Structure 1
Amino acid sequence: MSLQRRLMLYLLACAPLVWAVAVLISIDRSRHEVNELYDTELIRLARQVQATMLPALALADLAIAPPSTQLDSGEGDVRDMAVAVWDREGRRVISDREGEGLPYRADTAGFVNGTIDGNAWRIYYLQSPGGEWLVAAGQGAYERDEVVFALVASQIVPWLLVLPILLLAMAWAVRRALSPIRHLTDDLQSRGGNDLAPLVHVRAPAELKPLLAAMNSLFERIESLLSRERRFTADAAHELRTPLAVLRAQWDVVKRSHSEEERAQAQRQMDAGLMRLDRLVTQMLSLSRAEAATTELLDTEIEWPPIVEQVMSDCLELADRRGIELACDWPDAGRPALPLMGNTHLMTVLLRNLVDNAVRYAPAGSTVLLNMMATRIEVENPGGPLTPEQLASLGQRFRRPPGQLEGGSGLGVSIAQRIAALHGLEVVYDAAGGDAVRASVRFTRVTSP
C-alpha cells in the first residue's frame, strides 16, 4: 500500500471519530446553555405568578383561561409550558390546562425532573414566604431537546455539505506534501548504475533531510569502496603480470636447458619467482581484508604478549637466514603496553609487516628492536638514515627502494597504515639516532587549525 493511500485512510478513519467527539461535546454544551436559558424562564414565570397572587385567590378555585386559539401565539408553543398554584392544604388554586397534570409536592423547592402523561418534564417549585401557597412552573423536556438538536444540526449540516470538497482538499494536500518523495524516486530511477552523485536536499522537507544525508553518506562509502576495488584490481593486474612473465621465461629456460647446471640455475630462479608471487598474493589479500574491515569489528581488548610472540615466530626464519637478532622491550611492571580496543588479527598483521620490513631492510648481522611502550609501539632497525624523498614515498603501493636483495611486494607499509587508521592510529617513520630507521605506531594526533 502506498504512503499516500495509507495517509488518506488514516485521515478518513480519524476525521469521523473527531467529528463524533465534537458533536457530543457540542450537544452537551448546547443542552447546558438551553437548560440554563429555559430554567431562568421557569424561575421568572414562577416568581411573576407569585408576585401577582392575592389573598382573595385562596377563597375559590380559579382557572386561568387557556389562550384563544384565534390569537397568534408567535413562534412559541404554549402547550410545552404549564403553571399551577396550590394552597396550604394542597388544593389547586390556579392552573392552566397543561398545569392540571403537574404533581403537588408540599415540601419541594427548586427544580425537579418528572413525568407527565409519559413525557419528561422539568418543573420548578416555589414556596411562598409564609407557606400559604406553592407555585409550580413546568416545561416539556422534548422542547429543549428540539432546540438542542436544531442548534447542533445547524452546525453539522454545513460541514456535511462541504465534506466532498474537504476530502478533495485533503487528497490534494497529501499528494502535494508527498511530492518530494516522488521527485526523489524519479531521481533515483533515472540514474545509471555508476551515478553516485550526492542527492540535492537544499529544498527538501525537514523529515527527508536525515534520509537524504544518510543516502549521500551511503553513496560516498560505495564510491570509496568501488574506487578501492578498481584500484586494487588495476594494481593486481599490473603487479601480477611481471612475476608471471618471469616464471614463463624461466620455464622456457628450463625446457631448453642443455646442462644440469643451467637447469638448476633456472629452477632456483623459478623458486624465487614463485616465492615472490606467493608473498605478493598474500600481501594483496591482506590489503584487501584490511580495506574491507570496518570499525564494527574493533570490539576486543588487544592482548599484546600473544601477538608479539606470533609476530616474532613468523619473522624468525627470515631473521635467522640474514643473521639478524630480534629483541623486544616491554614497559615497566604495572604499566600496560598501548591499551587499545580493536581486532587482534589485524593488529597481528600490522605488527608483522613492520617487523618483517625492518628485518628485510636491516643490514645483515644487526638487531631489530621492537619497543612496546605505554603510549606507542616502535620498531627500530639500523640501515642508515632515510632521505626526505624516501620518507615521503613510504606507504605508496608496490614501490620499494632500489637495490634491495630481499624480495617484497611494496605493500607492507600500506597495509600497516590502513590497519592503523582503522584503529585510530598512525604509522610515522623517522630517523633514530641518525643511522637507523624507526617506525612508530601511535594514536592519531589532531592538529589545531
Structure 2
Amino acid sequence: MRLSASLSLRLLLILAAAMLVALVVTVYSLLEYVDKEAEEVLDTRLLLTAENLLRQSRWQLREGNLNEIWLSLETVRGLENAWLTRFALGDKASFGEDNGDQEKDRVRSYIWLTNGDGKVVVGQVLPGYNDKHSRKKKLRSIQYDGAEWRVAEVHEDGLHLHIAQREDLRVYLVKEIGMKLMEKQLIAIPVIVFVLWLGIRRGLRPMSRLSEQIASRKPDNLKPVKLDQVPVEIMPLVESINTLLQRLQVSLESERRFTSDAAHELRSPLAVVRNLARILAGSHSLQEVQSSASLLDKSAVRMADLLSQLLHLSRLDSLVKMKSLEP
C-alpha cells in the first residue's frame, strides 16, 4: 500500500507526529518545572542547615570550643559529601566501574566559618570562592571543578557561615524524573498509536461502505447515491458523484430518444428507397433507370439531411439539460 494512496496512514502519521511534538514539549516543560522546584527545595534546606550550624557555632565559640565547632562542621560536611556522592554516582556505585573510586574521593561539600574581617575561623573554603559579606542571607551559583556549585551564606553577630555544595542532587532528580517520564511515554506511545489506528479505521468505515455500495451497483443503475449516514467531510464528494450520475442519465436518455426518433423518421425514406430499388430491378429502358436513380439520389440526400438535423437536435437537448444540473 503506497503512503500517498492511504488516507488512514497519512492521518496516523500526522497524529503521531503531533503527539510526539506534544510529548517533547510536555517533558521539556516538566523537567524545567522540576529543576526549578528542586532548586527551591534544596536551597531552603541549604539555608536551614547553615542557620542551625551557625547557631551551634556561636554557642560553642562563646565557650571557646573550637575543636567542637570543627567537629560539628566536619561531621555535617562528611554526611553531606557522602549523601551527595551517592546521588552523583547513581548506578556506578552498584556496578563498581573503573572510575568509581575516583568519583567517591571527589569533594562535593565545603563548610567554613569566617569572622567580620573575612578571616576563616574554622573549616575549609571552597577554592576560588570570593567572600564578599552582606547583611542579608544569600544564595549564589559558581562554577568550579567542571560543575555548578550552590553556595549559601548566613550571618549573625559578626560571624558568617558558608556551605557550598555541588548540584549533583538536583541534576540527579531532573535526570531520574526525566528518564521515568520517557520510560512511561515510550510504553504509552505504541498503545496510543494502536488506539489511533483503530479510531481512524472506524472513522473511515463510512467511506468503505460507500465504496461497496457504488461497486455493487448494476451498470444501468444511475440513481443518486443515498446520503444517509454520510459524514460531512465526504458529503461534497457524494454530491459530485450524484451530479455526475444525473448527467450520465440525461445523456443516455437523449441517446435513447435520438435512436427512437431516428428510427421513426427514417422509415419513410427507407420505404422510398426500397420501392425505387424494386423499380430499378424491373426497369426495361434507360429512361426509367435514370428517373429512378434521380429519385434514389434525392431520397439519400433527404436521409442525410434528416440524420444531420436529428444529431444537432440531440446535442442541443443534452447541453440544455446538463446545464440545468450544474450548481
Q: TM-score range by the shorter chain?
A: 0.7 to 0.9
Ranked by relative contact order (alpha carbons within 8 Å, sequence separation 6 or more), the top structure is: 2
Q: Does 1:181 align with 2:187?
A: no
* Inter-partner Cα distance in structure 1 for 2:291 and 2:180: 110
Q: Does 1:92 align with 2:151?
A: no
Farther off after superposition, 116-125 or 240-249: 116-125
Go from structure 1 to structure 2 and tell me whether the alpha carbon gap of 1:78 and 1:254 turns closer, same or farther (over 3 Å shift).
Answer: closer
1:342-392 CA-to-partner distances (Å, cap 9, x unmatched) read xxxxxxxxxxxxxxxxxxxxxxxxxxxxxxxxxxxxxxxxxxxxxxxxxxx
2:103 counterpart residue number: none
Cα displacement (A) at 1:259 = 6.2
Secondary structure (helix, strand or coil) at the match of 1:125 reads: strand
Secondary structure (helix, strand or coil) at the match of 1:112 reads: strand
1:37 counterpart residue number: 41
Farther off after superposition, 134-143 or 11-20: 11-20
Secondary structure (helix, strand or coil) at the match of 1:54 reads: helix
1:64-111 CA-to-partner distances (Å, cap 9, x unmatched) read 434499xxx89x92666543322233322244xxx6436542326633
Question: Which of 182, 190, 199 in structure 1 is aligned with 2:225?
Answer: 199
Amino acid in the other structure paired with 1:33: E
Matched residues, percent identical? Answer: 26
Go from structure 1 to structure 2 and tell me whether the alpha carbon gap of 1:245 and 1:93 turns closer, same or farther (over 3 Å shift).
Answer: farther
Question: Which of 18, 26, 31 in structure 2 is aligned with 1:22?
Answer: 26
Cα displacement (A) at 1:181 = 1.8
Contact 2:35 2:174 in 1 (8 A): yes
Q: Residues 63-142 of structure 1 correspond to what in structure 2 (within 5 A)?
A: 63-65=70-72, 66-67=74-75, 77=83, 82-95=110-123, 100-101=125-126, 103-107=128-132, 110-126=138-154, 132-142=158-168
Amino acid in the other structure paired with 1:107: K
Secondary structure (helix, strand or coil) at the match of 1:199 reads: coil
Q: Residues 23-422 of structure 1 correspond to what in structure 2 (within 5 A)?
A: 23-50=27-54, 54=58, 57=61, 62-65=69-72, 66-67=74-75, 77=83, 82-95=110-123, 100-101=125-126, 103-107=128-132, 110-126=138-154, 132-257=158-283, 266=292, 269-293=295-319, 418=320
For these two proteins, the number of residue pairs brought into alignment is 289
Question: Gaps (5+ residues) in structure 1?
Answer: 294-417, 425-449
* Inter-partner Cα distance in structure 2 for 1:187 and 1:37: 66
Go from structure 1 to structure 2 and tell me whether the alpha carbon gap of 1:273 and 1:5 turns closer, same or farther (over 3 Å shift).
Answer: same
Go from structure 1 to structure 2 and tell me whether the alpha carbon gap of 1:56 and 1:217 turns closer, same or farther (over 3 Å shift).
Answer: same
Contact 1:8 1:174 in 2 (8 A): yes
Moved over 6 A (4+): 421-424
* Inter-partner Cα distance in structure 2 for 1:40 and 1:68: 17
Secondary structure (helix, strand or coil) at the match of 1:101 reads: coil
Go from structure 1 to structure 2 and tell me whether the alpha carbon gap of 1:270 and 1:116 turns closer, same or farther (over 3 Å shift).
Answer: closer
Higher strand proportion (structure 1 or 2) = 1
TM-score normalized by structure 2? 0.72
2:101 counterpart residue number: none
* Inter-partner Cα distance in structure 2 for 1:285 and 1:197: 26
* Inter-partner Cα distance in structure 2 for 1:422 and 1:113: 81
Cα displacement (A) at 1:141 = 1.0
1:396-444 CA-to-partner distances (Å, cap 9, x unmatched) read xxxxxxxxxxxxxxxxxxxxxx5xx8889xxxxxxxxxxxxxxxxxxxx
TM-score normalized by structure 1? 0.55
Secondary structure (helix, strand or coil) at the match of 1:223 reads: helix
Q: Residues 423-434 of structure 1 correspond to what in structure 2 (within 5 A)?
A: none
